Structure 1
Amino acid sequence: MKRLVLFALLIAALVPGCKRHTIISDEELALIFHDAFLANSLLQNRDARRDSLLVYEPIFERYGYTTEDVRYTIGNFSKRKSARLGDVVELAIARLEAEGELLNRAVAALDTVNNVAQRTTRRVIRRDSSIRVTSLKDTARLRIVLDSVRPGEYRIRTRYEVDSLDQNQSLRGQVWMETAAGKQSGLYSIQLRRKREDGFDRTLKADTAVRRIVLDFWRPQQGKRKRPHITLRNLEITYTLPVGQALDTLYEKQLDIRIFADDFIRMAAPDSLARPADQ
């Protein structure tokens, strides 16, 4: 009986007119993205206008899928809790990179996609126009700690000035990362120049082990600590998601990464994105 039921279901699935679409596997979807990137790059080199379906349909057919299968898979990817569309894009990128120097133009286009995704999701997490310290009791203001650090890039920029009134010798500014156990990594240290304004710019890449980032701009190296006279200006700390998460976020917001032509992406978008809110 079970075999008969399964056979009946199989026959029903093959009957023409059923509006079911195939969910494409991650591996095959990555291959489709790979070929689409190459097609886009080739046409851009030739400065050719294109109908997106005429370009992409042969690619889909090569893997045994229809245009609707691809649209359905992309439009419903967010419902697949065990999969990330950014991972599929990364598979396509890795395949292109492995194919060598002949694909430099296509790989460069993918690098641009990654940069756009990261730039779109980048945000400022700390900003101070001026921090001025002229007494020992206020030196704690020159030590900035970021807790609950997430994986990604943290860029720290500021301008500093050590006034001639500062009585300390061999001042240094430092930034480093710490694990939950207090182990330091990524230590960066500079000698603070006196009597002039100078810049500090450092990017730290945190992984899942990092829990804190510490910026300390008052670390006298010689003798007793004396009265300080330091000013930090335009301090800014920005956070950037890892590439894979940035791609996922961009897809979730607008399905607007340029893997396919604009008209194809618009048709792949969920109904809630494709129609005006008042309809």
Structure 2
Amino acid sequence: MKRLIRTALAVVTLLCTAACVRHTIIPDDELAQIFHDAFLTNAYIGSQNVRIDSLNIYEPIFARYGYTTEDVQYTIGNFSKRKSARLGDVVELAIDRLEEEGKRYDREVAILDTIDNVARRTFTRTVLSDSLIRVRSLRDTARLSFVVDVEPGEYRLTMKYLVDSLDRNDRVLRSRMWIERNDSTQAYPYTLTLRRHREESFTRTFRVDTSHRRLHLHLLTFTDRSPKRPSVTVSDLRLTHTPETRTAVDSLYIKQLDVRIFADEFFRAALPKDSL
């Protein structure tokens, strides 16, 4: 805070050149608001790496409140004659306003983040689910293959699996997953090696855009050329889709507003009388 006050006083000093002609004395509250706007201007200029060699950039700020540069200079110079007022108090008031605005903007950003999260949760839907799938023969493996048409957004796969001691395959078992592009090529291929003899949890997220059309999930594949009888259990299988944030928020607003352009009475008045 002290460093900010020193910087603020330095800015004020630049504005304060001696004036011989008497001008309007600006009330402390308005002067604090002028300092507030000047600080924001300095911050913007600094962030954009703009080199300013003239103090004319402040004149529009003064004019917005109905004052001239000379009025500001005279008011600042007059503080040394006022026993009951300190220039530092006005600077601190401007800083307090900046900090209060910063807190308010932080809250507004947090609210927007909350809206985004609510919208995403509201329009998250389950694409496929199954509480229990047992694979005890080679023919059963088809029950663990899924091909899903996709829309832009996020797909999240969760499941538990168990490869038990009755499985007769010598080599490892795997899951293979990928997104199919519109040109039929594969994107983001992923292979999971299935561990044996204990239940494992698995989660995978796929991000889909307009260049994709299908999601392929083959949860049980073999590395043996001649696979043997498997013994695999998949439980709590769930695939959910969450649309893109912008789409979800738009849908949420439409759902909440429920805007009706014309009242029912408008349509009733437009109908032929014999149809009523």
Give TM class, smaller chain.
0.5 to 0.7
Tell me which amino acid in the other structure corresponds to 1:152. Answer: G
**What residue number does 2:134 align with?**
132
**What residue number does 1:157 align with?**
158
Aligned-partner Cα distance in 1 for 2:174–2:109: 41
Q: TM-score scaled by structure 1?
A: 0.53
Aligned-partner Cα distance in 1 for 2:225–2:148: 29
Cα drift, residue 111 of structure 1: 1.6
1:38-77 equivalences in 2 (<5 Å): none
1:64-108 deviations in Å (ceiling 9; x for gaps): xxxxxxxxxxxxxxxxxxxxxxxxxxxxxxxxxxxx999554333
**What residue number does 2:197 align with?**
195
Are residues 1:204 and 2:206 paired?
Answer: yes
Aligned-partner Cα distance in 2 for 1:150–1:179: 12
Any idea what SS the aligned residue of 1:219 has?
strand
Cα drift, residue 218 of structure 1: 1.4
**What residue number does 1:123 align with?**
125
Aligned match of 1:213 in 208, 212, 215? 215
Any idea what SS the aligned residue of 1:232 has?
strand
Are residues 1:240 and 2:258 paired?
Answer: no
Gaps of 5+ in 1: 1-99, 257-268, 274-279
Give the 3 Å change call, closer, same or farther, for CA 143–209 of structure 1 in structure 2. same
**What residue number does 1:174 align with?**
176
Any idea what SS the aligned residue of 1:225 has?
coil
Give the 3 Å change call, closer, same or farther, for CA 134–105 of structure 1 in structure 2. same
Aligned-partner Cα distance in 1 for 2:195–2:103: 45
Are residues 1:112 and 2:128 paired?
Answer: no
State the number of aligned residues.
164
Tell me which amino acid in the other structure corresponds to 1:162. Answer: V
**What residue number does 1:95 align with?**
none
Give the 3 Å change call, closer, same or farther, for CA 101–170 of structure 1 in structure 2. farther
**What residue number does 1:57 align with?**
none
Give the 3 Å change call, closer, same or farther, for CA 230–181 of structure 1 in structure 2. same
1:172-216 deviations in Å (ceiling 9; x for gaps): 112210013321112222211101111111111110111110111
1:214-270 deviations in Å (ceiling 9; x for gaps): 1111122244211111111011111111111111111111139xxxxxxxxxxxx65
Give the 3 Å change call, closer, same or farther, for CA 272–199 of structure 1 in structure 2. farther
Tell me which amino acid in the other structure corresponds to 2:145. Answer: R
1:11-50 equivalences in 2 (<5 Å): none
Aligned-partner Cα distance in 2 for 1:126–1:272: 40
1:89-108 equivalences in 2 (<5 Å): 104-108=106-110
Aligned-partner Cα distance in 2 for 1:217–1:225: 15
**What residue number does 1:255 align with?**
257
Give the 3 Å change call, closer, same or farther, for CA 171–102 of structure 1 in structure 2. farther
Aligned-partner Cα distance in 2 for 1:125–1:223: 32
Q: What percent identity do the matched residue pairs reach?
A: 46
Any idea what SS the aligned residue of 1:217 has?
strand
**What residue number does 2:54 align with?**
none
